[in-house]
Structure 1
Amino acid sequence: MTLFKDPGFNFNGLLALGASGYGAGEVGEVLTAVNAINKAGLSAQTYTETFKNLGDQLMEAPQGSKPGTETTRFRALRAAQYYGQALFFVLGSDDPGSEEQLYKAGRGAWDKFCKLCDPAPVTANIPYGKTPLPVWFFRPDDSVERRPTVILTNGSDGQNVDMWTYGVAAALERGWNALVYDGPGQGQLLYVNQVVFTPHWETVVTPLVNWLAARSDVDSGKIALTGLSMAGNLAPRAAAFESRIAALVAMPGVLAPWLGFPPEVREILTPDKEETNNIWNKEVVPELPPPAAATMKKRIEPFSVPAMLEAREGKMFSDFYTPAKLIESLDITNVVGRIKMPTLVLDYDYEQFYPGQPRQMFDKLTAPKDYVKLTTATGAQLHCSPMAPQQHCEVVFDWLQEKLSGS
């Protein structure tokens, strides 16, 4: 299962490879890119450049024929995947200042894909604070039949194309609607509008539920909410305060995102801002090797606009305290008991970011609940089962159909 010797690059490569099952990647394209990167020497620069070039190629017409609508549509979907791959590592590349431009390239590919869907998803901007939430509402057809609907919540560094792989395609195959959105700290709101994560995710989900409940093609009694990766924290937080959610899935369950950082990083944070930032700037930053520095820039940017802007200039952020406190505030240990709707908590063999937390969340739940661990035996190991999104969706949607069939 090793594409790259570095586990961070390898995990991302596996996500692109696994997405092939839903057309959001192509095995040959991904493995050819992997080979090219390894031959050139694995780095953020070679990874970013190779996948960006692949995205650019797919946004052009294929050689030798005039592409039909379906060809153009799925080439755009794969391009969105490959731009997302490049975007993930761009802050460690030779051109970190191209981050917003690279995000927009991926967003353009996603929007092109969506416009060519039949029916095309309904798009809207739903009011949220000073910056509305862009949404894409996918339907199996354009009838007004009331259908079960799933709200798909992305994590701290995913793109819209990941929601196609982890829910939209599976929902449509089963006759469900699916809502994709960018919340604070994600997609457009982060890279363009410069809005970071909020610990009060119910303020994000409630406007989405309001919008869905007003539609004639949504069964308002069958609205489910899923959360992928760090959204295994965000979605449960929202469900604890939004009672109209009929079923919840945490993929995986995450009580405290701050615990997903290594202990040596968490130890930097002290109760005093000045002391914390002195430790960070004088003791930690000078000793960080470039790959570790790039990783920290990437992990912190959704929680700090100054950190993101400094990273785009090739600099390390100087205020560690403020984003660290924001991440710490996402802890939902004390609110999980408020969740009332049926909840599925997923876990994975070799969960590398939040080990132990899914089981801890399951144990704290007082609502009707189920726990499922996806395993190495079927190639579904690692955080979010990057090699097995079809298995992942089978587990999630079989459970959702069972829980909502009698609602």
Structure 2
Amino acid sequence: MTDVSGDRASRPTRRSALAGLVGGAGAVLAAGCTPSGVSPANAPTPSRTPSVTPGGPTPGVMTLFKDPGFNFNGLLALGGSGQGSAEVGEVLTAVNTINKAGLSSQSYVETFKKLGDELMDAPEGPSPDEQTTRFRALRAAQYYGQALFFVLGSDNPGSEEQLYKSGRGAWDKFCKLCDPAPVTANVAYGRTPMPVWFFRPEESDQRRPTVILTNGSDGQNVDMWTYGVPAALDRGWNALVYDGPGQGQLLFVDQVIFTPRWETVVKPLVDWLSTRPDVDKDKIALTGLSMAGDLAPRAAAFESRIAALVAMPGCLSPWLGFPAEIREILTPSKQESNDIWNKEVVPELPPADAATMKKRFEPFSVQAMLDARDGKMFTDFYTPARRVEALDITDVVDRIKMPTLVLDYEDEQFYPGQARQMFDKLTSPKDYVKLTAATGAQLHCSPMAPQQHCEVVFDWLGETLSVG
């Protein structure tokens, strides 16, 4: 960990358009496509079974799967064990089962869904008490989320909504058994209310600092538990978890996609918090995990009531997380862009890469999501691509006035270099921390070290807001 305070290129060929895609369910799935240190424009065409070298970002036992996309997700599940949102033995047993069956979206989905189902049933032996039932439900939410991530590449993509609801049911069951249980509410957002879960250390009206935990693309509520709720409660903070547009219930059930104006999401949340007697209105912090390292700073640039901001990692443009070969498909002309996509790219996409693109674009297009659930590739590339492009916050970062912590990660595979670029553009009080392989905290969002991740974030927040 280190701490420091014109004219479009010629039309891409089918081969060049595919060159930046990762074989299997590669890193495109998490909004990035190239290994750290490799320029997207010069990225080599990957093999179908990428090799993982001993000196790579996940050496030795850190390599659960040979495919880096599956491996990253497996590490996220494993990392949740420290906060009770996974069990080491359960995850590693699932990994062995998947590898024995042959790694694929199908084997991954089947194995983790079965594990979630088993945990939602009563265990053999003595009747489980509330704590057992509670944490079995939390782990089930994790495993359903793992299955959900790859379901569009499975034999049953149409089960996506139901699989989400299974995970949501597990999460809600866990929350009801917490002591105290989080306050649940629906906060107005356009025509579709946002579900929120407001966690408190205890039920008094004592005013406390509060952190709004913002998920990224493809994350689930259980990830906000791993990356903040217990850390907040243990330090006497409140923590707000929510589903915004493009996330959770709003995406998979209500069919509301991402908005580039995230301040319209955060403002009603701050309004709601400000009415509560147990919230210190002068100490409301905002964090953004993964792609929310773009969303949260955007909101903070226009919401002055945020007292402190954390971008995890800093991200100026999620669109730059796609390889140049994919970005080049997008032209000023909708017709031309879609012709390239449908006539040159889609016919050459292997099934695994097709599933990758379906997953990557569904939070930005309802039609793309519905097509994917129907086993079809979306035909309108232009519209969701423009929506991703619109998330660029390069020109608004200098509006941020509150103290800001920008996290970065060694071997950041999705937004390499962007955290430092954001830090350099900030004009507010700022700090930059890079989590490294020296303590096993490498890779996007430190999947193997979420506890260490939370320590850095909450130590900074406590010092910045004079808490504790």
TM-score by shorter chain over 0.5: yes
Q: Which residue is equivalent to 2:28? A: none
Q: Which residue is equivalent to 1:379? A: 440
- Aligned pairs (5 A) from 1:3-402: 3-402=64-463
Q: Which residue is equivalent to 2:16? A: none
Q: CA RMSD in A?
A: 0.7
**How far apart in 2 are the matches of 1:312 and 1:128?**
26
Q: Cα distance, 1:264 vs. partner? A: 1.0
**How far apart in 1 are the matches of 2:442 and 2:309?**
22
Secondary structure of 1:245's partner? coil
TM-score by length of 2: 0.87
**How far apart in 2 are the matches of 1:65 and 1:254?**
49
- AA of the residue aligned to 1:93: S
Q: Cα distance, 1:381 vs. partner? A: 0.2
Secondary structure of 1:38's partner? helix
**Larger relative contact order (CA 8 Å, sep ≥ 6):** 2
Question: Over residues 76-131 of structure 1, what are the superposed CA-to-partner deviations in whole Å (9 max), with x where a residue is unaligned?
Answer: 00000000000000000000000000000000000000000000000000011000
Secondary structure of 2:227's partner? helix
- AA of the residue aligned to 1:127: A
**How far apart in 2 are the matches of 1:204 and 1:268?**
30
Runs of at least 4 residues of structure 1 off by over 6 A?
Answer: none
- For structure 2, the 5+ residue unaligned runs are 1-61
**How far apart in 1 are the matches of 2:324 and 2:138?**
38
**How far apart in 2 are the matches of 1:95 and 1:308?**
14
Secondary structure of 2:225's partner? helix
Question: Over residues 279-300 of structure 1, what are the superposed CA-to-partner deviations in whole Å (9 max), with x where a residue is unaligned?
Answer: 0000000111111111110010
Q: Cα distance, 1:262 vs. partner? A: 1.1
- AA of the residue aligned to 1:166: Y
Q: Cα distance, 1:406 vs. partner? A: 7.0
**How far apart in 2 are the matches of 1:356 and 1:204?**
27
Question: Over residues 105-162 of structure 1, what are the superposed CA-to-partner deviations in whole Å (9 max), with x where a residue is unaligned?
Answer: 0000000000000000000000110000100000000011000000000001000000
- For structure 1, the 5+ residue unaligned runs are none
Q: Cα distance, 1:263 vs. partner? A: 1.2
Secondary structure of 2:228's partner? helix
**Gap change, CA 1:340 and 1:125, over 3 Å in 2:** same
**How far apart in 2 are the matches of 1:22 and 1:406?**
23
Identity %: 83
**How far apart in 2 are the matches of 1:293 and 1:386?**
26
- AA of the residue aligned to 1:281: N
- AA of the residue aligned to 1:187: G
**How far apart in 2 are the matches of 1:243 and 1:283?**
47
Secondary structure of 1:318's partner? coil
